Structure 1
Amino acid sequence: MARTESNMLALGTKAPDFYLNDRTTETNHFNFSGVKGEKGTLVMFICNHCPFVHHVIDEIIMIANDYRVQGLGIVAISSNDVIHFPQDSPALMTEYAFENNFEFPYLYDATQEVAKAYQAACTPDFYLFDQQDKLVYRGQLDDSRPGNGIPVSGSDLRGAIDSVLYNRTMNPNQKPSIGCGIKWK
């Protein structure tokens, strides 16, 4: 299992816009302003087959359920090359979203332009934007990885979200996420 770290996009970066198809409904398209939350927005790069995503998907769902009702916009994007990785195809994205009870859009980045704009490097990769659409957190969910024995808690990402929602000081110690590399064309 290859381990790729986040690129750590510069804090303060304005959220790159996008216009992508939602695999949870197959009929809707979203841009950044369409998923933006009243208090902030979480953009996650994930995919269907990555063991790092599988390791944390339950916590991702809990975070989404805990925070979307508090004004956080949440979206997941898959940017993997589906020709060489058919298990990440849009049809299987729909199935994955349904099986995991996604209550947020799961968008398909067919051209990989959105992943490039965000400088996404791995799955999972997390980007948290404040009310002004400025990047305030990028990095890991927590210190847990498949096989390292550390329980999944979401502590790093939850702490960052709490800072945005409750106007707290952001922890300056932001560790990169580690996961499977984006499967580039």
Structure 2
Amino acid sequence: MESDRFLTKKERAIMLLDTPVCNFDWEAPDFTLKDVDGNRYTMSDYLGEKGLLIAFICNHCPYVQKIAERLAEDTRSLMAEGINVLAIMSNDYEAYPEDSPEKMKQFASQHGFDFPYLIDEDQSVGKQYDAVCTPDFFGLNREGRLQYRGRLDNARMDDPSDRVPELLNAMRTIAATGKGPKDQQPSMGCSIKWRGN
């Protein structure tokens, strides 16, 4: 965000977070959320034979903005291979209007998202999943158990050349074996914007 230039080092440190280490076999809670057009999506309906990727993202976070096109590309590959994808926006969009439903629709169209982009209106799903930042990826096997909580890839913010698509590779492994890779690098991003904080 443009206003980030005016934050102190301490404030920036609070905003920038890493995801926790993957809690293997944690059972992901079911949920039903709507997209910006009012269509309802239930997580358990998307647990296909090859698993499900759930991505907590938003529009205004510079980390999400930098990876958005790579995320769209990698998820298109996953969906073509039968691995389902849902994205969730849990931020307080009244405090951060760039994350409003209208802006979500624009952002998804701009970056070519083919997956449902859902609104966590009361932030309950983000809290159930203990999502900490955007992006925060949850790779589930077909039983709905967590097998990946790492980053999209090893690319730097401004240099995606020669990247290793770690999330793509992990989801393929989960689809084939039901298990995620032991070695995972945390995702990094802006903190989830909870109401009242």
TM-score of the two chains, using structure 2 as the length reference: 0.85
Give structure 1 stretches of 5+ with no counterpart: none
Matches within 5 A, 1:97-116: 97-116=108-127
Deviation of residue 124 (structure 1)? 0.5
Q: Work out which of the residue numbers 70, 73, 79 in structure 2 matches 1:62.
A: 73
Q: Secondary structure at the match of 2:149?
A: strand
Q: Work out which of the residue numbers 9, 13, 18 in structure 1 matches 2:31.
A: 18
**Residue 5 of structure 1: aligned partner:** 18
Find out whether 1:126 has 2:141 as its counterpart. no
Deviations 1:144-169 (A, max 9, x none): 3425x464735221221121123286
**Residue 96 of structure 1: aligned partner:** 107
Give the letter aligned to residue 176 of structure 1.
Answer: P
Deviations 1:14-62 (A, max 9, x none): 1211111112xx0311110233233110000000111101111111111
**Residue 171 of structure 1: aligned partner:** 181
Count residues in correspondence: 182
Asked if structure 2 preserves the Cα contact closer than 8 Å seen for 1:59 and 1:154, the reply is: no
Q: Secondary structure at the match of 2:69?
A: helix
Find out whether 1:76 has 2:87 as its counterpart. yes
Deviations 1:126-177 (A, max 9, x none): 0000111111111111233425x46473522122112112328632111211
Return the alpha-carbon distance in structure 2 between the equivalents of residues 64 and 156 of structure 1.
12
Matches within 5 A, 1:22-61: 22-23=35-36, 26-61=37-72
Return the alpha-carbon distance in structure 2 between the equivalents of residues 131 and 168 of structure 1.
7
Does the C-alpha gap of structure 1 residues 105 and 168 become closer, same or farther in structure 2, counting only changes over 3 Å? closer
Give the letter aligned to residue 14 of structure 1.
Answer: E
Calculate the aligned-residue CA RMSD, in Å: 1.9
Give structure 2 stretches of 5+ with no counterpart: 5-11
Return the alpha-carbon distance in structure 2 between the equivalents of residues 153 and 43 of structure 1.
21
Return the alpha-carbon distance in structure 2 between the equivalents of residues 183 and 9 of structure 1.
22
TM-score of the two chains, using structure 1 as the length reference: 0.90
Give the letter aligned to residue 166 of structure 2.
Answer: D
Identity of aligned residues (%): 36
Q: Secondary structure at the match of 1:166?
A: helix
Q: Work out which of the residue numbers 109, 124, 128 in structure 2 matches 1:117.
A: 128
Asked if structure 2 preserves the Cα contact closer than 8 Å seen for 1:36 and 1:74, the reply is: no
Give the letter aligned to residue 145 of structure 2.
Answer: K
Return the alpha-carbon distance in structure 1 between the equivalents of residues 90 and 107 of structure 2.
15
Q: Which moved more, 1:165-174 or 1:42-51?
A: 165-174
Deviations 1:65-123 (A, max 9, x none): 11112111100000001111000011111111122222110000011110111111000
Return the alpha-carbon distance in structure 2 between the equivalents of residues 109 and 33 of structure 1.
16
